[in-house]
Amino acid sequence: MEAADPRDRVEARYGGLAATSWPGPHPGAASPREEEYSRLTDPGRYGIVHTRARLWGEELAALPGVDAETVERGVRLTSSRPDTLPLLLMERDVASSRAGVPALAVLHLCAARPDIVLQAVPDCGCDACDRGSDDLLDCIDETIGIVVDGPLVIVRGDGWQLRWWPHGSSSSGTDRHVELTDMCRRLAEGEQITPPKGTEALIGRSWLA
């Protein structure tokens, strides 16, 4: 996104909320201690991911040609520009097994449908995986930017998924990352390719003029 895009407004509004923030607990890429993998300090602070998503929903909905539909615990945003993919910001909670401990807030950032999850933030709430609040916010902003900026190509099959965008790619459940990344790039360029049998392909263009 460019300098005058919604991200600037989201950051400005978020900065005025005095929301909870914390540094990454492992400076210098220090390895987590073993006990941190079974510890979750202050799960309530992760509510910032829902707060950030709500601001994004409001700012994107204010753009010309963007429609916002409220769904259960989330919002579905669509652009009127051709060949774009809807963005869904879905609020989730992971209940604690310990009495009196608040649930862990999680944000699912989805493309097209709730089952196509591009990113879950946080991906894990334990202290060992904690990288600080700024890392969470950056992940949300960057994932939304991937959908809005376009192009974004998603290919998925039984138990696997790969996402490609001009500056990167990521995959899960497959060992064919290089092959599938090349196919996604060619699809983004408009090449007529028939994906392998059983593969779903979604191609999203930019929401922006």
pLDDT-derived band of residue 47, with 50, 70 and 90 as boundaries? very high
Token code pair at residue 14: 């978020």
Integer-rounded Cα Rg, in Å, for the chain is: 18
Phi, psi of 103 (to 5 degrees): -70, 155
Question: Hey, is 18 helix, strand or coil?
Answer: coil
pLDDT value of residue 97: 67
pLDDT value of residue 129: 83
pLDDT digits (tens, 9 = 90+) for 82-130: 999 999 999 999 887 666 667 899 999 999 999 999 999 998 878 888 8
Q: Would you state the pLDDT for residue 117?
A: 96
Is residue 93 a contact partner of residue 103, using CB atoms and an 8 Å limit?
Answer: yes
Count the neighbouring beta carbons within 10 Å of the beta carbon of residue 81.
15
